[in-house]
């Protein structure tokens, strides 16, 4: 298996791709921060998938006699104002966080990719108009824009996701355009065009795949920002609505108790920091591996 | 493209051309911002006409109100009349305060400006030296500590840090004053001249008010400054690493220039210009970041105004605040961009 992966002369496209991925993984494993980041992200995914197995309680319902208990053996992170186990709620909250970052990435990355690739590929006026539009969005304050969108669409987790995605795509469009420009006049593109491929086919099958690695880096680095924005919207009561155990909303509930029952607001915040840091570390490591040009910088 | 004669390519002409192009882009960006706020105002699911006439109104009454509000006109016409209104400072009336939004915003903006300015001063004063030291000792433990600190700036929610800060430094240790801009006791004691409480109290010569206001601003401004610090330190480190790898630095070292001088005079001298852009960007970012901090600290600034308006479905106030924050954001962005072009010796 190892030989097959490390082969210098791959026999099929699958083998070449797998080999490249394997080498990148080996490089990544040599970067301690990236490993830590990867483990944290893995932990988030496992927690989200296996939430019912990990969480001691369901995280919903009330248990008023046990309200606002400090952290103890029974309740690692204490209980909240309705007697719910905070640890269980943080565990279930992983699902919501993963859902938000996943959906934002799935919506905004392809949108940015297509806008950027089309602009870079066609050039001229198409480029000017699309990039002008992108730049306008880029020079807006993201959080404020997301707030205004949610205000208009109405609070709720779906609208929060849409609002964040709307503010996230322009950065990806810029990257995709820059990448596309570097190989727009490459011979393989010219050759494909000579074979009679349509513009759509060239962009989709030949241009976009080459933009993906820088896109993955950027999306990973952006994840922390997305999580913070989502949590911020939740904190303001505009994101996920109670009783959903969204971390930002949980901090907001604990705000009233911060002076006496500090754990109610503090614990979900630690989860946010851990996961955001994980994505930062992983993104930094991925950049060092996949994008050697800027390795070592920042 | 017309080929320019060498004479017309002199520096002032080129600079003027690039500034003119810049002005066009800036105006377009403002129009874009207006288009976005206009669009957000239109996609509100609540029918603005219904909000005025109530749901018992007859069809004729409804139509009359719609015409009176100008909503029967084509979208483009509505947009241009909106742009005209905004340029005349007409942002509509706030439903919750009953005052014109523009007047409200003028009242709350100085509070935000004051906090963000102190925040950026803290961020620059600590972030730049930290970045330089991290680059000079790249790979050492101090570099790692600064790196982790900077990454924390990207991963800690501002509102959470605010809450924890309040619990620790206000409730726990009692080092700083609590939420709000000033104690109720001192409220309204000094005549507002600039709207900046620290400046106003100094003008009035009332040091008691000054110290009380300083006591209130220190925690939120420090927390805000931490986020600026994270970004500035990271960028400074990256710029410095670039410079320290250049040959002129090696030359200076070979000549026997002391290391301290190599770092602070030679290398740092050449990153000052890009740093201005970074500082400008983070200043703009702080104005935005203050929304969360203000909510936590009940700071009577534009962020608090915005979030309060959000809950009252006070769309005029929301859009007005969005517009002002967006405009300030764009202006700072563009100004630091222009500064970069003017100061960069390569454009000479």
Query: Could you read off the pLDDT of A156-185 as tens digits, one per residue?
Result: 888 899 999 988 899 899 888 888 888 888
Each residue of A136-168: b (16+ CB within 10 Å) or e? bbbbbbbbbbbbbbbbbbebbbebbbbbbbbbb
Of B120, B283, B289, the residue nearest A144 (C-alpha): B289
Q: Which residues of chain B have pLDDT under 70?
A: 1-11, 43-55, 188-189, 345-348
Longest dimension (CA), chain A: 76
Domain that holds residue A229: 34-297
Nearest CA in chain B to A254: B163
A182: domain CATH number is 1.10.3720.10
Task: Give Cβ neighbours of residue B32 (< 8 Å, ≥ 6 apart).
Answer: A133, A136, A137, A140
For residue range A185-228, list pLDDT tens digits in order: 888 888 888 888 888 888 888 888 888 888 888 888 889 889 99
User: Which value does ipTM take for this structure?
Assistant: 0.83
Of A172, A64, A48, A65, the residue nearest A112 (C-alpha): A172
| Residue A11 is assigned to a structural domain of this protein | no
Helices of type H across chain B: 11-43, 48-53, 59-68, 75-87, 101-136, 141-155, 158-165, 197-204, 207-244, 247-255, 259-261, 268-297, 302-311, 315-343
| Residue A65 is assigned to a structural domain of this protein | yes
Both structure tokens of B249 = 């630095």
A106 vs A98, A157, B198, B329, CA distance in Å?
A: 12, 16, 47, 28
Task: Give Cβ neighbours of residue A240 (< 8 Å, ≥ 6 apart).
Answer: A96, A156, A157, A160, A234, A246, A248, A249
pLDDT at B4: 47
Q: What is the pLDDT along chain A (298 residues), one digit of tens a residue?
A: 777 777 777 778 788 878 878 887 888 888 788 899 999 999 999 988 888 888 777 777 777 777 777 787 777 777 777 778 888 888 888 999 999 999 999 999 999 999 999 998 888 888 888 888 888 888 778 888 888 888 888 888 888 999 999 888 998 998 888 888 888 888 888 888 888 888 888 888 888 888 888 888 888 888 988 999 999 999 988 888 878 888 988 888 888 887 778 888 888 999 999 999 999 889 888 887 776 555 444 3
* Interchain pair A141, B329: CB under 8 A: yes
Determine the straight-line distance between the first and last CA of chain A, rounded to whole angstroms. Answer: 36
Q: What residue has token string 């003017």?
A: B342
B255 vs B139, B242, B247, B249, B267, CA distance in Å?
A: 25, 20, 12, 10, 15
Picking from B37, B157, B317 by the largest number of A CB atoms within 10 A of its own CB, the best residue to mutate is B157
* Interchain pair A224, B238: CB under 8 A: no
B278 touching A (Cβ < 8 Å):
no
Nearest CA in chain B to A281: B151
A293 touching B (Cβ < 8 Å):
no
| Residue A137 is assigned to a structural domain of this protein | yes
| Residue A227 is assigned to a structural domain of this protein | yes
Contacts of A146 in chain B (CB under 8 A): none
Contacts of A263 in chain B (CB under 8 A): none
Contacts of A153 in chain B (CB under 8 A): 43, 45
| Residue A254 is assigned to a structural domain of this protein | yes
| Residue A24 is assigned to a structural domain of this protein | no
Total-model pTM: 0.85
Report d(CA B184, CA B88) in Å as an integer. Answer: 36
| Residue A4 is assigned to a structural domain of this protein | no
Task: Give Cβ neighbours of residue A288 (< 8 Å, ≥ 6 apart).
Answer: A27, A31, A34, A295, A296
Report d(CA A140, CA A213) in Å as an integer. Answer: 26
For residue range B82-131, list pLDDT tens digits in order: 888 888 877 877 777 778 888 888 888 888 999 999 999 999 999 999 99
Instruction: Yes or no: say if B190 and B201 are a contact pair by the CB < 8 Å rule.
Output: yes
Report d(CA B145, CA A213) in Å as an integer. Answer: 29
| Residue A25 is assigned to a structural domain of this protein | no
Which among B159, B238, B319 is the nearest to A232, CB-wise? Answer: B159
* Interchain pair A142, B288: CB under 8 A: yes
If one counts the domains in chain A, the total is 1
**B 23-42 residues with CB below 8 A of A?**
25, 28-29, 32-33, 36-37, 40-41
pLDDT at B226: 93
Contacts of B152 in chain A (CB under 8 A): 273, 277
Both structure tokens of A108 = 């905004």
């Amino acid at each position: 298996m190892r030989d097959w992966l490390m082969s210098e002369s791959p026999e099929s496209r699958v083998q070449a791709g797998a080999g490249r991925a394997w080498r990148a993984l080996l490089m990544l494993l040599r970067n301690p921060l990236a490993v830590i980041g990867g483990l944290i992200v893995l932990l988030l995914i496992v927690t989200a998938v296996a939430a019912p197995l990990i969480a001691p309680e369901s995280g919903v319902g009330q248990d008023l006699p046990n309200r606002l208990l400090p952290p103890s053996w029974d309740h690692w992170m204490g209980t909240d104002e309705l007697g719910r186990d905070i640890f269980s709620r943080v565990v279930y909250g992983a699902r919501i966080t993963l859902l938000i970052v996943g959906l934002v990435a799935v919506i905004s990355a392809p949108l940015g990719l297509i806008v950027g690739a089309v602009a870079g590929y066609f050039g001229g006026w198409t480029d000017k108009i699309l990039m002008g539009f992108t730049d306008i969005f880029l020079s807006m304050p993201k959080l404020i824009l997301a707030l205004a969108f949610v205000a208009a669409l109405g609070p709720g987790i779906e609208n929060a996701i849409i609002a964040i995605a709307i503010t996230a795509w322009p950065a990806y469009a810029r990257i995709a355009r820059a990448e596309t420009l570097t190989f727009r006049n490459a011979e393989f593109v010219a050759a494909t065009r000579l074979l009679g491929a349509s513009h759509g086919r060239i962009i989709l099958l030949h241009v976009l795949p080459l933009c993906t690695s820088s896109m993955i880096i950027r999306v990973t680095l952006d994840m922390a920002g997305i999580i913070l924005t989502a949590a911020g919207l939740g904190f303001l009561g505009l994101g996920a609505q109670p009783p959903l155990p969204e971390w930002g909303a949980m901090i907001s509930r604990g705000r009233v108790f911060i002076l006496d029952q500090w754990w109610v607001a503090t614990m979900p915040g630690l989860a946010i920091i851990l996961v955001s840091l994980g994505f930062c570390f992983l993104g930094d490591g991925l950049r060092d591996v996949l994008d050697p040009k800027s390795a070592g910088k920042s | 493209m017309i080929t320019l004669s060498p004479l017309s390519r002199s520096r002032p002409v080129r600079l003027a051309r690039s500034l003119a192009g810049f002005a066009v882009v800036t105006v377009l960006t403002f129009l874009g911002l207006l288009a976005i706020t206009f669009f957000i105002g239109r996609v509100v699911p609540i029918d603005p006409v219904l909000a005025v006439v109530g749901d018992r109104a007859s069809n004729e009454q409804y139509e009359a109100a719609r015409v009176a509000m100008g909503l029967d006109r084509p979208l483009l016409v509505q947009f241009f009349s909106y742009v005209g209104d905004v340029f005349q400072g007409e942002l509509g009336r706030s439903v919750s305060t009953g005052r014109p939004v523009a007047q409200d915003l003028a009242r709350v903006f100085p509070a935000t400006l004051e906090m963000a300015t102190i925040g950026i001063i803290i961020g620059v004063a600590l972030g730049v030296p930290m970045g330089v030291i991290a680059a000079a000792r790249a790979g050492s433990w101090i570099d790692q500590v600064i790196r982790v600190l900077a990454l924390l700036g990207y991963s800690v929610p501002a509102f959470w840090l605010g809450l924890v800060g309040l619990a620790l430094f206000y409730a726990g240790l009692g080092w700083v004053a609590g939420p709000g801009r000033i104690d109720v006791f001192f409220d309204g004691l000094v005549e507002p001249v600039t709207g900046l409480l620290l400046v106003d109290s100094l003008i009035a010569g009332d040091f008691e008010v000054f110290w009380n206001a300083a006591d209130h601003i220190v925690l939120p401004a420090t927390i805000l400054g931490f986020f600026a610090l994270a970004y500035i330190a990271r960028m400074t480190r990256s710029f410095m690493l670039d410079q320290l790898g250049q040959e002129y630095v090696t030359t200076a070292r070979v000549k026997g220039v002391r290391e301290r001088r190599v770092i602070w005079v030679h290398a740092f001298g050449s990153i000052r210009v890009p740093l201005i852009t970074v500082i400008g960007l983070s200043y703009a970012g702080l104005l935005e970041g203050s929304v969360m901090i203000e909510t936590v600290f009940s700071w009577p600034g534009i962020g608090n105004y915005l979030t309060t308006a959000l809950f009252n479905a006070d769309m005029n106030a929301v859009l007005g605040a969005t517009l002002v924050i967006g405009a300030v954001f764009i202006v700072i962005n563009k100004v630091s961009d222009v500064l970069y072009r003017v100061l960069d010796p390569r454009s000479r």
